[in-house]
């Protein structure tokens, strides 16, 4: 029952009781009087009836005010203290009670605060001991996270039901890029892998693995290739995760007996092989083209040679004709071979891997190659060992080797020197020689020639190598030391680091890219109402709009969301997208969220954004603060976009009314302050979504203390509050 209604009913009952008692007392006095005294009393009071009624009403009013004051002091105050105690116990241990009510209750509140201080000190001591006990586990976890981030291949780990419980950024890039824009959001903890890879394909691979396990094969892994919606070829290597089957599962239809190894999940390594596939296809086409196109020329040459061999005394004109045929066919073959070489060089370019490495290592590789294959003496005088470059070390060393070979063969150079220095964001690699100066025209000729030196030829040119590296080469003749030089200008690269950006520091939290508790989580079913709140997957979201009237034409301009999986907030899997509303923003709304019309130009429209956001929310429970407002904007677009959000919805505003009916405010900032949550980036869609998510996580144990443990319980409690709000 609504708290205000309770107060009104209690006050009405109290005043009715007082009035009834007064009436009974007056009637009893009147009844015991003698008849003549009764008549005298009536005659005395009759002229003052109106005054007596007014005095009675005034007395009841005074009693009503006194009742309200007593209620506020002795009932409302203790209720507030009770709510504060629940917050301390279940959500925010640093929360302290504000003494309210009579002096005795205030002393109780202060005693509770003292007890909370003592309890918090004990809890901190316990947390310190637990943290120390978990140090080794945390270190192993960080090592795993560092290892996953450093792997050059994409890796996903799924439980038996296909739910993702671990992935790295390579996997997000490989599958996200292959599946199209917005599909990277489908890779997340607890999400089904079937959104990216066909279910039947994975089932077939799993059955092959299980069949090999039953046969006792040592390598039960499976491998398959699938085509993404954008036409990319993705190779997947699938390996089982084996655990011992517990005794209670011996009778299950999986076929494992007690203690026998059973498949509890799978490790998937993914690789985009589209470029390799296209390269192989190009090579096959070139080979076939050269083979088919060469048969006629070879047949002509063979016939001409046979005629010259069998008829050595043929006429001079006929001999010249056969020689001309041989010359023409040889020229034809030479042209085809030249074209094939050029096409093959272009194919080679697509396979060059650029890796970050120290510039000193590049010079060391080139130095060994030049000394061993050309016999030139090479010195390194000025070398900055801190410089990193992103290069293909093989082709770059090959280019330096070719330049050194040309200097030796054509200029008689017998000694070389390397320098390596930095100029801003450019790395300067100098190849220096004591000897004759060259002209710029010579460098241009060498740049267009194929690389050859020491008996090793390459179809690539120096220009090809420089273009692939985004580098340039210049010739400098008037250096202070008097030595000419070739200077390669290479882009500076950052030192090697974990793919996710920040260096690994043990003890710091990392993005939540793994959740091994999902090994034990069954697939979600339609019976979500019976699922405990702590076991559900949530999408907590918020929107910013052009105004406050969705029916009046206002539009969404920003959507922010974050996921909660296994009672954990996954900040690394957030969603944020601004939207072009195709209409101006209300000036009042702009002062609140700070988003201007200029900031939205070029952003996608709501028709493009909602399908991707719907995929992000798939198979989750929606959570928002004042959810009716945000959902109304989404519902207004259902007919236009064909996107319907039919997921269950929880509203932290209504849940706060359920938990703390005696608090005056249920605004987002007030609830956050009450639960000890720091508010940042207010009125930013993603910032508000993050705050709402933290509030909701703090509410889950508070709801459990109220007997609200499942999604069905929470929805029923919300419906009760909503009905009361609409009624009163």
Strands 415-423 and 377-383, by their bridges, are parallel
The residue written with tokens 């083209």 in the block is: 289
| Interatomic CA distance for residues 138 and 230, integer angstroms | 40
Q: Is 591 left (phi over 0), alpha (psi -120 to 50) or beta?
A: alpha
- List active site positions: 683
Q: Is 242 left (phi over 0), alpha (psi -120 to 50) or beta?
A: beta
- Distances, alpha carbon 251 to alpha carbons 210, 244, 254, 323, in Å: 18, 14, 8, 86
Outline where DSSP puts E strands in 9-115: none
| Interatomic CA distance for residues 314 and 718, integer angstroms | 108
| Interatomic CA distance for residues 486 and 699, integer angstroms | 68
Strand, helix or coil for residue 609: helix
- Judge whether 96 and 703 are in contact, CB under 8 Å: no
Outline where DSSP puts E strands in 146-275: 154-159, 164-167, 222-227, 233-244, 261-272
First vs last C-alpha separation in the chain: 11
Strand, helix or coil for residue 491: strand
For 77-99, letters b (16+ CB in 10 Å) and e give bbebbebbbbbbebbbeebbbeb
Query: φ and ψ at 594, to 5 degrees?
Result: 75, 15
CA 451 from chain center: how many Å?
45
Strands 415-423 and 426-432, by their bridges, are antiparallel
| Interatomic CA distance for residues 576 and 687, integer angstroms | 10
Q: How many CB atoms lie within 10 A of CB 622?
A: 21
């Amino acid at each position: 029952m609504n708290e205000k209604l309770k107060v009104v009913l209690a006050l009405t009952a109290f005043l009715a009781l007082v009035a009834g008692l007064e009436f009974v007392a007056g009637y009893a006095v009147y009844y015991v009087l003698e008849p003549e005294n009764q008549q005298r009393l009536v005659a005395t009071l009759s002229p003052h009836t109106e005054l007596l009624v007014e005095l009675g009403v005034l007395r009841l009013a005074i009693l009503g005010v006194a009742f309200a004051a007593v209620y506020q002091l002795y009932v409302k105050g203790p209720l507030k203290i009770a709510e504060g105690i629940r917050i301390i116990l279940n959500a925010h241990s640093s929360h302290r009670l504000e003494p309210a009510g009579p002096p005795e209750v205030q002393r109780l509140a202060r005693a509770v605060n003292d007890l909370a201080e003592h309890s918090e000190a004990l809890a901190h001591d316990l947390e310190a001991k637990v943290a120390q006990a978990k140090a080794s586990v945390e270190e192993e976890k960080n090592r795993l996270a560092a290892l996953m981030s450093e792997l050059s291949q994409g890796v996903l780990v799924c439980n038996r039901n296909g739910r993702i419980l671990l992935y790295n950024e390579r996997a997000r890039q490989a599958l996200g890029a292959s599946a199209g824009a917005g599909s990277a959001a489908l890779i997340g903890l607890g999400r089904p892998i079937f959104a990216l890879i066909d279910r039947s394909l994975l089932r077939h691979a799993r059955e092959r693995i299980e069949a090999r396990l039953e046969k006792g094969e040592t390598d039960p892994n499976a491998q398959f290739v699938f085509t993404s919606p954008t036409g990319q070829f993705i190779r997947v290597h699938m390996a089982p995760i084996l655990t011992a089957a517990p005794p209670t599962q011996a009778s299950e239809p999986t076929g494992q007996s007690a203690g026998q190894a059973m498949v509890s999940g799978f490790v998937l390594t993914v690789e985009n092989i589209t470029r390799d596939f296209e390269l192989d296809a190009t090579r096959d086409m070139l080979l076939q083209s050269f083979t088919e196109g060469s048969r006629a020329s070879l047949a002509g040459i063979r016939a001409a040679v046979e005629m010259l061999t069998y008829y050595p005394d043929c006429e001079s004109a006929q001999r010249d004709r056969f020689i001309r045929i041989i010359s023409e066919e040889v020229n034809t073959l030479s042209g085809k071979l030249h074209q094939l070489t050029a096409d093959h060089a272009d194919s080679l370019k697509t396979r060059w891997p650029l890796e970050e490495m120290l510039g000193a290592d590049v010079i060391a590789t080139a130095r060994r190659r030049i000394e061993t294959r050309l016999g030139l003496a090479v010195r390194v005088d000025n070398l900055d060992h801190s410089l990193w470059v992103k290069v293909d070390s093989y082709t770059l060393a090959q280019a330096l080797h070719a330049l050194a070979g040309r200097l030796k063969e054509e200029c008689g150079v017998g000694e070389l020197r390397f320098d390596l220095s930095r100029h801003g964001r450019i790395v300067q690699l100098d190849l220096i020689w004591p000897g004759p100066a060259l002209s710029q025209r010579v460098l241009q000729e060498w740049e267009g020639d194929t690389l050859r030196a020491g008996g090793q030829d390459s179809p690539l040119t120096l220009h090809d190598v420089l273009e692939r590296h985004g580098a340039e080469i210049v010739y400098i003749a008037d250096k202070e030391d008097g030595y000419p030089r070739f200077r390669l200008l290479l882009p500076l690269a950052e030192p090697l680091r974990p793919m996710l950006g920040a260096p690994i520091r043990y003890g710091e939290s990392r993005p939540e890219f793994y959740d091994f508790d999902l090994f034990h989580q069954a697939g979600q079913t339609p019976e979500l109402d019976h699922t405990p709140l702590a076991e559900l997957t949530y999408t907590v979201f918020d929107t910013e709009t052009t105004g406050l009237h969705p029916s009046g034409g206002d539009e969404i301009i920003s959507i922010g969301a974050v996921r909660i999986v296994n009672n954990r907030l996954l900040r690394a899997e957030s969603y944020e997208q601004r939207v072009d509303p195709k209409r101006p923003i209300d000036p009042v709304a702009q002062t609140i969220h700070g988003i201007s019309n200029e900031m939205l130009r070029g952003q996608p429209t709501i028709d493009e954004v909602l399908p991707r956001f719907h995929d992000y929310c798939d198979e989750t429970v929606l959570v928002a603060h004042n959810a009716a407002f945000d959902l109304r904007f989404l519902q207004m677009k259902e007919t236009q976009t064909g996107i319907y959000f039919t997921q269950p919805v929880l509203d932290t505003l209504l849940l706060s009314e359920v938990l703390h009916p005696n608090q005056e405010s249920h605004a987002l900032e007030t609830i956050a302050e009450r639960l000890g949550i720091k508010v940042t980036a207010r009125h930013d869609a993603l910032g508000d979504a993050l705050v709402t998510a933290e509030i909701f996580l703090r509410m889950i144990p508070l709801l459990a203390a109220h007997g609200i443990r499942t999604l069905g319980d929470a929805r029923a409690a919300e419906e009760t509050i909503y009905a009361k709000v609409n009624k009163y």
